[in-house]
Amino acid sequence: MATKQAKKIMIIEDDSFSLKLYASYLEKEGFAVIATPQADEVLRLAKQAKPNLFIVDLMLQGGDGFILVDKIRHTAGFKNTPIIVLSNLGQDSDITRAKKLGANKYFIKSNVRFQEVVDTVRELV
């Protein structure tokens, strides 16, 4: 019987504590995690790893998460790959903008439980 390959989740987060926490949580749930704090590395890494879903923080060192969501959405091979935004930005205008650019789901970090994010990842992949 063929073994089922783990779904790959790419996390783009510049807060190392959050990055490690989400990565370990998703790995425990059976996902393969590719993580980077660098917005400018995302497309190169994504083309190599071909993730099944992206989790993107909007406020990144050396990059803008909104621009990144737009770039992912307009990159061949990722036009339909689910994107979850996980951010501290909670304004309606930020949520609307991220969704217009192609985010499938938007979570405000302070208002979301890890399990909720994991359940959404499962739902979208």
Q: Look at residue 64 and tell me whether its pLDDT is greater than 80.
A: yes
Residue 111, in any domain of the structure: yes
pLDDT per position as a tens digit, 50-59: 999 999 999 9
Q: Which domain holds residue 53?
A: 8-124
Looking at the 3D structure of the chain, how many domains does it have? 1
pLDDT per position as a tens digit, 80-119: 999 999 999 999 999 999 999 999 999 999 999 989 999 9
Instruction: Give the whole-angstrom CA distance, residue 20 versus residue 118.
Output: 14
Residue 1, in any domain of the structure: no
CATH of the domain at 23: 3.40.50.2300
Going by C-alpha positions, the residue among 17, 26, 10 that lies closest to residue 114 is: 26
Band of residue 62 on the pLDDT scale cut at 50, 70, 90: confident
Residue 51, in any domain of the structure: yes
Number of C-beta neighbours around residue 75 at 10 A:
14
